Amino acid sequence: MKDIFKNVFKEAEKAFKYLFESGNYSPEDLSLEPYQKLIDETYKVFEKTILDNQVPERMANALKSDAFLFGGLKVHAQLSEAFDLMKEKSVKSFQEIKKEFEEINNQYNMNWLEAEYNFAVNSSQMAAKWEELDDSGRYLLQYRTAEDDRVRPEHEELAGTTLPKDDDFWLFYYPPNGWNCRCTVVEVRREKYDESDSEEALKKGERATTQIGKDGQNRAAMFRFNPGMEEKLIPQNHPYYPKGCGSDLSALKGLPVIVLNARKDGCKAKKEIEKLNKERVYTDYEKKLQSKYDKSWTIKDTFPEKDGYIIVQDGHGKAEMEQNVKSFTPLAKNGKQIELVKQQTIMKDGIKQKLKTHDAIIVNNSEKWEAKTTKNYKNLLNISDKAVITQSQGAEVMLIDVYRNPNFRIDDLIKGVQYSFEKTSLSGICVMVESNKYEIISRNQYNNGKLPSIIKKMSRNL
């Protein structure tokens, strides 16, 4: 047994024992500690295949999420099989069923896991390669095998297939094309190689991914996918993945009850694992973020899916922090990385005095921002006064968070923002309504007369 599988095997043993002692299993139980530990250890095996390759961060994050889902569904599959065995045997002691549990463990976490791991190694390599391929059209993609005596004849038939990156062939037959497949692709110059016949190549690909089982099903058809294009580590037609989730249940009429229940349980498991994965993503993101800052900074909120966050430095004004977090949150949700900085102080006549400084730094572009709010419609025309203060605080951009009331008029808001540009040299003004929808208006847009239409368009979407 490979060392990387040992922890999985041990956690599976503990999970099976817990399953027997509890006497029951449902997909919602996957969040229980013994099962979650098994999911985590299984995920680590597949995560290693990504970490060991130079995969671009965005692609790596997508592959990690798929690895976690696959690992979780793998755990659900073996727990379901073990629970069905328990019900069938009606055993009274763990020793009576221990041998059968060991057989399930060996099958899932030694034999199958090794094949799945080897596939994931090549899949992550090929996903990374897809990201690096040239899009200019100067090159063609050429299918290559490992060129040794272990190459399958049907994969050897694909060797030399040379087609453009956007040809349909690569949608389905981009490597890997089966368990333990070691095939790859290379870029070749158009002028040096003849382009293959696409229809003939598709027929070869279909033959290479056809393996009819005893049940009449094509077990190799699931490999017709592209890990780079789909940003998936494992084919989504793998048996672990449930089918029909979210679809009209009437479409499943006619299926045997045992099959229907298995599909429903699979969909419930998928939902539970996706929830656990979201927690993992947030935890990993916050750990990585906190490592970039010292202990004087506190994370307020993170949005890993867009790589946005709000982090607060000790000494940021307590009175304004709550409103600042509220106002800056919509920007963080859209990928802005926001540091709410501490108030600067000076010693004057032996007394510490606060200086009026900007509220935030937008890490993405190093801009200094100041947040202001107005809750009185009469103040809309006086937004420019807040802009003057904003500039005096060393900010380059003002965020004005406007709260509406029955007397709110969009024309007054437009005039207030226009006056703000006229009275200051601010590079931009972010107009936000009730800590929700917003538009960032640059000085160039103001100079080009686009300000009124931008604000009116935003107001229509409120």
Pure H helices in 291-314: none
Beta pairing, strands 367-374 & 345-348 = unpaired
Distance (Å, rounded) from C-alpha 32 to C-alpha 14? 12
Q: Would you list the DSSP string of 64-89?
A: HHHHHHHHHHHHHHHHHHHHHHHHHH
Q: Rounded to the nearest 5°, which phi and psi values hold at 147?
A: 55, 45
Of the two residues 403 and 398, the one the predictor is more confident about is: 398
Predicted confidence band of residue 71 (pLDDT cuts 50, 70, 90) = very high
Gyration radius of the chain's alpha carbons: 29
Q: What are phi and psi of 77, to 5 degrees?
A: -60, -45
CA-CA distance, 423 to 389, in Å (whole number)? 11
Residue whose C-alpha is closest to residue 181's, from 235, 263, 117, 122: 122
Residue 461: band (very low, low, confident or very high) from pLDDT cuts 50, 70, 90:
low
Residue 249 has pLDDT above 60, yes or no: no
Q: How confident is the model at residue 88 (pLDDT cuts 50, 70, 90)?
A: confident
User: pLDDT by residue (tens digit) across 365-382?
Assistant: 999 999 999 876 566 778
Reduced to 3 states (helix: H, G, I; strand: E, B; else coil), residue 162 is strand
Average pLDDT, the chain: 91
Q: Are 140 and 181 in contact (CB under 8 A)?
A: no
Q: Is the dihedral of CA 262, 268, 269, 271 positive or negative?
A: positive
| Domain ranges (residues) in the chain | 3-130+231-287, 133-209, 293-460
Rounded Cα distance between 14 and 22, Å, is: 12
Cα 126 to Cα 233, 371, 444, distances in angstroms: 10, 46, 44
Distance CA 442, CA 396 (A): 11
> How would residue 406 be classed by pLDDT, with cut points 50, 70 and 90?
confident
Structure tokens at 195: 């382009």
Q: Are 304 and 281 in contact (CB under 8 A)?
A: yes
- Report CA-CA distances (Å) from 442 to 67, 136, 367, 400, 418: 42, 33, 13, 14, 12
Residue at 135: amino acid letter: D
CB 409 within 8 A of CB 444: no
The structure's pTM equals: 0.80
Residue 49: left (phi > 0), alpha (psi -120 to 50), or beta?
alpha
The CATH code that applies to domain 293-460 is 3.40.1350.120
